[in-house]
């Protein structure tokens, strides 16, 4: 898999970076949003929990929402305005 994974959602560009490039002892806030001109808008919020597994492994745009899948098996809906977790659902 090649990183970053790039996804367009509405008028923003999302980039998912390789979580393994981040220190293993703290959360990897590895999703960033940019406007069409390349200006950084926000960095995704940490979900919390166990720091060593608090990272995102996939992003998607479904039904008008940003979904970020967390290594801890949570499907998180992300606020496109600020990168905060709106809701999370355990999927395992």
pTM confidence score: 0.93
pLDDT tens digit string along 55-89? 999 999 999 999 999 999 999 999 999 999 999 99
pLDDT tens digit string along 29-57? 999 999 999 999 999 999 998 999 999 99
Asked, as a colleague might, if the bond just before 4 is cis with ω within 30 of 0, I would say yes
Domain boundaries in the chain? 5-90
Is residue 1 over pLDDT 90?
no
Provide the CATH topology of domain 5-90. Answer: Thrombin, subunit H (2.40.10)
Whether 59 and 14 have beta carbons less than 8 Å apart is answered as: yes
């Amino acid at each position: 898999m090649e990183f970053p994974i790039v996804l367009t959602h509405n008028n923003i560009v999302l980039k998912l970076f390789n979580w393994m490039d981040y220190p293993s002892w703290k959360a990897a806030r590895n999703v960033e949003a940019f406007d069409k001109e390349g200006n950084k808008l926000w960095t995704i919020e940490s979900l919390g929990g166990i720091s060593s597994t608090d990272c995102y492994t996939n992003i998607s745009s479904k039904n008008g929402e940003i979904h970020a899948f967390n290594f801890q098996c949570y499907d998180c809906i992300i606020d496109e305005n600020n990168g905060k977790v709106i809701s999370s659902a355990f999927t395992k």
